[in-house]
Structure 1
């Protein structure tokens, strides 16, 4: 495991990249230094053609309690080139999975919503409690969550500042998998292993099309998806996928 100044740890497991927020003493709250190290970890994932899927988790049995409010009170700059938590405004092009234990609240929940898939322990708690402190959830939660849950339920969650069990979010499709406590990371790894058998350039294109699907009319979508899909259709991996099918073997993906 690589140590990035102790605040963010990274580990390569074949084509899977595990990113661990390592501030358990403050429930993995994000200050400026943590955000920058997260941003660097996401950049490293994007730039490595041998890495296909990333997982974000937290040390010490908690995903993240969100922003470090003491650092915020000091006026600390927590901005990064990728937005809050080093990811929120500019998630990676490749698939990324959140593995949640304990609490994923405030910015911690918004961090999870920045990911493409979410695995959570069945005793985990999630929510957007910012209004308790007269803060506003500006890390994407207030516009990402309404695309994934019914409007009135999001309103209730955000305006009451309730923190609800992960099972509630699983019921509405926000959480993909529920696990026993302590098993979120292992289940996320198993899910990642299902992804890495598939073509990586096609997965990048697929993710991008789905991300933009809310913005396009159906008429626009036909042309816009072509532009996004074309690099995958022109890639070496497409040739390898077709060749492997013809030769009745598993493809060997290059990420190119």
Structure 2
């Protein structure tokens, strides 16, 4: 567990990938990260997670090629959440903030793309260099053309070139750029804001977004209005749904219980 450090404050869990020298992920590390994020997902007291890297140079360069050379199979057991414990974790209906503190390339960038919001230090750099080592950035090939303009996504995938935080922000890959010494303060500020919000609504938003990704608009709306999504059904029958309406009518701040 030394390679994945956690800090818990109230409803917020900070997860730090800390595997010197570069925070590369091997199979064991990926499985540990999966256990951490599955635990976050399943803990009713936790509402928001922050993911960052140890040190100031690397967020994560992705797959540990040295471990691969020593026998870690690229198609091995990554654990419950897939590579990095997050990008294939089912039922992750809580907000995750990625705080990019340095280089995020290959699977590290794919891991960041699994978060709901991305903050970047001003010295952060990004790339998908898999093309140069004769392999495919599989998750990025699925996600990136849906997040940014198609031709830009294809350029990044096909060339593997590096780009900086300013360009990432210009294409909408990151929400904010911060001075390095302010990155985690801002991540925690945002996490506390989210932690004060309605967790059942967050769950519904995340499930709706996932479910509607490849659906026609009316089909997606029908599933919502017919309460065919578990999180939506839970929300519409919840105390929090009534609390929101009552707080509005009484002109006070709502008190969310998550039930």
- Shorter chain as denominator, the TM-score bin is over 0.9
Whether 1:19 aligns to 2:15 is yes
Q: 1-side partners of 2:212 and 2:165: how far apart?
A: 26
Q: 2: distance between equivalents of 1:238 and 1:12?
A: 28
Aligned to 1:50: 45
1:232 maps to 235
SS at match of 1:201: helix
Q: Report how many residues are paired.
A: 250
Give the stretch that moved more between structures: 232-241 or 37-46: 232-241
SS in 1 for 2:233: helix
Q: Counterpart of 1:144?
A: 143
1:78-227 map, 5 Å: 78-90=77-89, 92-138=92-138, 140-226=139-225, 227=228
| CA distance in structure 2 between the partners assigned to 1:208 and 1:143 by the alignment | 18
- TM-score, length of structure 2 as denominator length: 0.91
Specify which of 24, 30, 44 is matched with residue 25 of structure 2: 30
What is the CA-CA distance between 1:78 and the residue it aligns to? 4.4
**1:183 match: secondary structure:** helix
How far has the Cα of 1:102 moved from its partner?
0.9
Is the 1:29–1:67 Cα contact (8 Å) retained in structure 2?
yes
Deviation at 1:250, TM superposition (A): 2.6
Structure 2 stretches lacking a partner, 5+ long:
none
| Structure 1 residues 158-199: Cα deviation after superposition (integer angstroms, max 9, x where no partner) | 111112101111111110111012322221111122222221
Q: Residue 249 of structure 1 aligns with which residue?
A: 252
Shift of residue 73, structure 1, vs aligned partner? 2.0
CA distance in 1, matches of 2:239, 2:5: 32
Task: Flag structure 1 segments of 5+ consecutive residues without an equivalent.
Answer: none
Residue aligned with 2:181, SS? coil
TM-score under structure 1 length normalisation: 0.92
Q: Which residue of 2 aligns with 1:74?
A: 70
Between stretches 222-231 and 114-123, larger displacement belongs to 222-231
Partners of 2:43 and 2:206 in 1: CA distance: 18
Say which SS state the counterpart of residue 29 (structure 2) adopts. helix
